[in-house]
Amino acid sequence: MKVPVKDKSYKVLFLVFHGFSEHNGISKKIWGQINGLKAIGVDVILSYYSVEADGSRVWKVGNEILVDFGRGPIAKIRKRIDYRAISEYVQKNKFQLIYIRSDHNANPFTLNMVKMMRLSDAKVLMEIPTYPYDQEYVTLRMRLELAVDRLYRKKLAKQLDAFVTFSDARTIFGQRAIAISNGIDFSAIPVRKPQEGAEKQTIHLLGVAEIHYWHGFDRLVRGLGIYKQSHADCQIIFHLVGQFSGERERSSILEPIAQFNLQQNVVLHGPLWGEELDAMFNLADFAIGSLGRHRSGIQVIKTLKNREYAARGIPFIYSESDADFDGQPYVLKASPDESAIDITKILEFLKKEKFDPACIRNSILDLSWAEQMNKVLQTI
């Protein structure tokens, strides 16, 4: 599996409009993509925006500061409009490809940045992590930001060589789209080790995410409440790992917990990582994927979460369409609507078959980031 490059002379600038967190899922994904490119012989340089410990707003290339905007309100404005340092860096270095992760920030300044990048003869791709995305903008401030993006995104699209998407879209904003799957960095995700011994009396369900309304975990909580009404000795525990992205998400979970008296059946762990997260997967019998993508108008998507669950080797449920997993024996599909999840169907699913973690993981070896990023390079 090699792309047509010679001695790492194929250079890629991977451009991100935000910083990184060691335990953030998006950060892990980006590092997985970068490691995937390196695995197939590509020389990758990462450039990203960051707020330093002293409050300085900077653009970095690798670990070096490319430009320091300083601190204060003017620096905050400059970081949104001044991309000259990045454009000049591209001009001075011979990149074959500029790979930009979209921040839904099409505007005159990003448009000009891409135009300047094209003068270096580099190809320019833009990855849209979720498409379509307009439905995700719900507050007035968010809609105002989206209005600018909507005004300029078709103009920006004309300056690109292609978009990269995890949907089934053939074109986006009039530009061709390269469809790939979210990938996995298998070296960073251990396969689970289920607890051995006597047959378990309690069934443990697990959801891991930065909790947004489109995850639809409230559907699972409501379903658990309905199940408990007719099963007083309910021995099912739903472990929710992650932080709430907003008050709407928090109330959508806390209200049915109180309504159905589920304080002993739903455990809110907050963010976990490392050995603590591994232990949760070892304890869990079944994982909960997205159950509300229809809420943001999405029917087809290849989420990173499904792939992480499969890499862990745990059976799971989701409601969207995902060609990589639809029909897999370890997957239970939910309807893409607002109905409460039928807990009895999950229990029957688990009774029907014993799922071997290694077999689940081995079924997605073709979804490594090396394979997925190779598809991008081969296409262009």
Residues 283/246, Cβ–Cβ less than 8 Å: no
Please say whether the beta carbons of 229 and 262 come within 8 A: no
- pLDDT for 142 equals 87
Q: What is the reported pLDDT for 22?
A: 67
Residue ranges for the chain with pLDDT beneath 70: 1-8, 22-23, 197-199
Alpha helical stretches, state H, the chain: 25-39, 73-81, 84-92, 108-118, 140-159, 217-230, 247-259, 274-283, 304-312, 343-352, 357-362, 369-379
Both tokens assigned to 241: 């790992």
Tokens 């992650």, located at residue: 242
Quick one: tokens of 200?
């378990």
Q: Please state, in angstroms and as integers, the Cα–Cα distance from residue 245 to each residue in 139, 191, 252, 287, 299, following that order.
A: 14, 28, 12, 20, 22
- Contacts of residue 303, defined as CB under 8 A and 6 or more positions apart, other chains included, come to 166, 182, 289, 290, 318, 320, 322
Tally: H helices and E strands in the chain: 12, 15
Q: What residues have CB less than 8 Å from 259, skipping those under 6 apart?
A: 225
Q: Supply the pLDDT for residue 202.
A: 93
Instruction: Evaluate if pTM is beyond 0.85.
Output: no
